[in-house]
Amino acid sequence: MRYIFPFCISLFLYVFLPAQDETNSIITDRPDQTESSSVVPKGILQIETGFIFEKDELYISGYNSENISYNIATTLFRYGLLDWMEVRLGSAFKFENTNVSGWSKSESGISGLLIATKLFLMEEKNLLPKLAFVVNYNLAVGKENFIPEKSEPAFLLAASNSITDWLGIGYNAGAKWINGEQLDIILTASMGISVAENTGLFLEFYGDKQQDTDANIFFDTGFTYLVKNDFQLDVSAGFPVNNQSPDFFISFGASFQIFQN
């Protein structure tokens, strides 16, 4: 039951430690793939955690292959270190089952350790977007088959524009170095719509492109529900646009804030 540990710690902190004043609503980097252009307020710890189910079926050389994975307690800790800077720590526990024409194999373990920072750059002004810069470092820590061979640095420029009071867009551009060597270009674009009080809908395309390979393009959509200003629930699902894997995924999550100076 090791995978329950991050979730239990998160729940304990939320229940027993003071929350922030409810003056501004929480802004999260989940459930979509697009990083927001906002940083967590100084002195606030924001915890974003969830569950992801993925399924992928392949037919290779006359064999049917089915791969099912559960990413349990995918948790990102974000702390506002300065007014313009947050530090981040993330990880997850993964369970994976592979079935090839009746032969089955199961594995489980930690699927990496992320250390990162997000730097706020500028507020939105006229047509100029709100901007932030994200630097990630995915450490090769965890189950061997779930982690890269070498640690992977990455960076993203996160931008957003408010179109109306109920419509906004966010978009990212960046890159990571797979196994610390091969360049992988990353692009995302997300549209957020306020559909009811405390309820939001997003639609998103995202993908990546490695050298000498076809681009991976995905679509996902989902809802967020603001229970209170410092507590948000979400649900989302997605699938590939160009026959990449996985065939689909479903995700559920919760995000909340604790601590205050």
Examine residue 240 and say whether the peptide bond preceding it is cis (omega within 30 degrees of 0): no
CA-closest candidate to residue 170, choices 226, 131, 212:
131
- Where do the structural domains in the chain lie, given as residue ranges? 4-247
142 contacts 113 by C-beta, under 8 angstroms? yes
Compute and round to an integer the Cα radius of gyration of the chain: 19
Which amino acid is residue 41, in one-letter code?
A: P
pTM of the model: 0.88
Q: Report the SS3 class of residue 151.
A: coil
Half-sphere exposure of 8 (CA within 13 A, CB side): 5
Rounded Cα gap, residues 177 and 196, in angstroms: 40
Rounded Cα gap, residues 189 and 220, in angstroms: 11
Residue-level pLDDT, tens digit, the chain, 261 residues: 444 444 444 444 444 444 444 457 899 999 999 999 999 999 999 999 999 999 998 766 667 888 999 999 899 999 999 999 999 999 999 999 998 877 889 999 999 999 999 999 999 999 999 999 999 999 999 999 899 999 999 999 999 999 999 999 999 999 999 998 899 999 999 999 999 999 999 999 999 999 888 899 999 999 999 999 999 999 999 999 987 778 999 999 999 999 765
Reported CATH class of domain 4-247: mainly beta
